[in-house]
Amino acid sequence: MSASLEQGIHAFKEQIDAPVATFFSSCVRCGLCAQACLFYTETGNPEYTPIHKLEPLRRVWKQEYTFWGRYAKAFGLSKPVTDAELGDWEKYVYDSCTMCGRCSMVCPVGNDIAYMIRRMREGMAAAGHAPEGLVGATRRAITIGSPMGVKLPALQAQIRNAEQESGLKIPVDVQGADYMVLLSSMEIMNFPEFISAIARIFERANVSWTISSEAFEATNSGIQIGVSELAAELVQRVVDAAEKLQVKNVISPECGHAYFAIRWEGPNLVGKAFNFKVVHILELLDDLRKQGRLKVSSKETQKLTYHDPCQITRRGGVAEQPRNLLNMVAENFVEMPEHGTMNWCCGAGGGVSTNERADELRLKAFKRKQAQLNAVQPDALVSACSNCRIQLEEGLEENSMDIPVLSLTETIAAHLSDD
């Protein structure tokens, strides 16, 4: 059944639960969410106030699930949500929101706005109002296996490069390995050094791992566009591969939304708890560090600061680990003002970078990160998400800032001790 307004409203109605109803009931229009959102702070446009991005969903909730709203609707006193309105709302739900959740941290009445945006996207997509770029990426992810269209041969080429670079064999489809590693297309195409980095770390730390040739993609476009059945299909591929290889853990690489998708949404999408654990690469690295299996023989001396990928730190719960690792490998690690769970989004996650229409806005949003960097004046910027990395590099170049962006994993690998 193709997309329509009815489909969209239908999806809205399905998505409303007790938290959503509570949040809409509680909003007092205080505007504090606006000053927490980089899309508002860098444009000054009040239309980017987070709670405003949910207005059509709010009205559906009111008209369908409250006595007074139903009463008003029955008497023709309420304003119905129209297709045109949803069209207008695309730029609020997709272009100017990465579901970074910073607004959810500051709302005084406790509204988790990012939670609601995720649900609203279900209706927007079903109504045919998801951005073109995301639709294309999702289609590619489902049909090809990667939103960027990366197929197995491309991965295999990168694996061969990694093997050459590291001098190590990259395990593929190894039955019974402890860890099955996923990779984002972004990493495979733009930052393939990640593969050799983890190969060397795992070899040194004696970690049994593998990549699955049947399910190697970490990115979940279904989450970004907001279509649960498609997101579930993508997760199921990983589950099938993990069960086939009988691995104990699945590793989510340096990609923000990928982690959130598999770790926190995964089992709910497929309707079953996993019989394997999901860990973020940083979680594993920190565990190895604690166990004394990960050692560095040299340290970064340049002044480093850390950009927290939203879906890993604030929405993912992996906040301490990168700091522990940085304290191990860096002599001069300085936190940004507003760091950790209150760090600012890079501006590109959640599908924003896949949406060409949002390019200009995305680069404007970067100015928030620029301000943070100006306050710290680091020699280099470390992060743990390839999508953030691309955005940061683009933003830094656009603003003529000469600060290299480093992957945390790769940085550790660069200083790996020989024993």
Partner 1 sequence: MTKDQTIGEALRARGVSRRGFLKFCAATASLMALPPAMVPKIAAALEKARRPSVIWLSFQECTGCTESLTRSHSPTIEDLIFNSISLDYHHTLQAASGTAAEEDRKTAMKENYGKYLLVVDGSIPVGNPGFSTIAGVSNMDMLLETAAGAAAIIAVGTCAAFGGIPYADPNPTKARSVTAFLKEYGNRLPNTFTVDETGQTDPVDVTNKPVINVSGCPPIPVVISGVLAHFLTFGKLPELDSLGRPMAFYGKSIHDRCYRRPFYDKGLFANSFDDEGAKKGWCLYKLGCKGPTTYNACATTKWNEGTSFPIQSGHPCLGCSEPDFWDGGGFYKALSTPTGDITRTAVYAIGAGAAAGVALGALNRSKRAHMRKTHSKVGIDDLEKGDKS
Partner 2 sequence: MTPAELLMWVRGPALQFATVVFVVGVAVRILEILLLGRKPDLAEARGSEVIGGLRTIISRSIPDRGTLQRSSFNVVAGYIFHAGFFLALFFFAPHILLLHDVFGVYWPSLPTQFIDALTVVSIITLLAVLFHRITHKVMRFLSRPSDYVAWLLTILPLITGYLAFHRVGLAPPLLMALHIGSVELLMIVFPFTKLMHAFTLFLGRYYNGAIAGRRGVNA
At 401, list the tokens.
């800032």
- Check binding of 219 to partner 1 (CB under 8 A): no
Among 274, 306, 333, 366, binds partner 2 (CB under 8 A): 274
- Check binding of 32 to partner 2 (CB under 8 A): yes
Site for partner 2, residues 322 to 351, rule: CB under 8 A: 338, 341-342
- We find the least distance from the C-beta atom of residue 139 to partner 2, in angstroms, to be 27
- Check binding of 7 to partner 1 (CB under 8 A): yes
C-alpha to C-alpha distance for 24 and 58, rounded to whole angstroms: 6
CA dist list (Å): 325 to 102, 155, 192, 356: 24, 28, 21, 35
Nearer to partner 1, 10 or 244 (CB): 10
CA atoms within 13 A on the CB side of 377: 0
DSSP for residue 349: T
Phi/psi at 330 (nearest 5 deg)? -125, 140
C-alpha to C-alpha distance for 18 and 7, rounded to whole angstroms: 22
- We find the least distance from the C-beta atom of residue 6 to partner 1, in angstroms, to be 10
The interface partner of residue 31, options being partner 2, partner 1, none and the CB cut-off 5 to 8 Å by kind, is partner 2
- Check binding of 357 to partner 1 (CB under 8 A): no
Binding segment for partner 2 (CB under 8 A), chosen from 100-108, 173-181, 194-202, 221-229, is 100-108
Among 74, 109, 157, 375, binds partner 2 (CB under 8 A): 109
At 68, list the tokens.
């007074």
Binding segment for partner 1 (CB under 8 A), chosen from 3-11, 152-160, 315-323, 330-338, is 3-11
Q: Are residues 218 and 253 in contact, defined by beta-carbon separation less than 8 angstroms?
A: yes
Closest CA to 391 of 361, 364, 410, 366: 366
Nearer to partner 2, 25 or 82 (CB): 25
Strand partners, 181: 211, 251
- We find the least distance from the C-beta atom of residue 192 to partner 1, in angstroms, to be 28
C-alpha to C-alpha distance for 397 and 262, rounded to whole angstroms: 32
Q: Are residues 307 and 382 in contact, defined by beta-carbon separation less than 8 angstroms?
A: yes
Closest CA to 146 of 221, 75, 57: 221
- Check binding of 171 to partner 2 (CB under 8 A): no
C-alpha to C-alpha distance for 150 and 161, rounded to whole angstroms: 16
Residues that bind partner 2 (CB under 8 A): 16-23, 25-32, 34-36, 40-41, 44, 46-47, 49, 51-52, 65-68, 104-112, 115, 263-268, 271-274, 277-278, 314-317, 319, 338, 341-342
Query: Contact positions toward partner 1, by CB under 8 A?
Result: 1-4, 7, 10-11, 13-14, 16, 64-65, 67, 125-128, 130, 135, 138-139, 142-143, 225, 227, 229-230
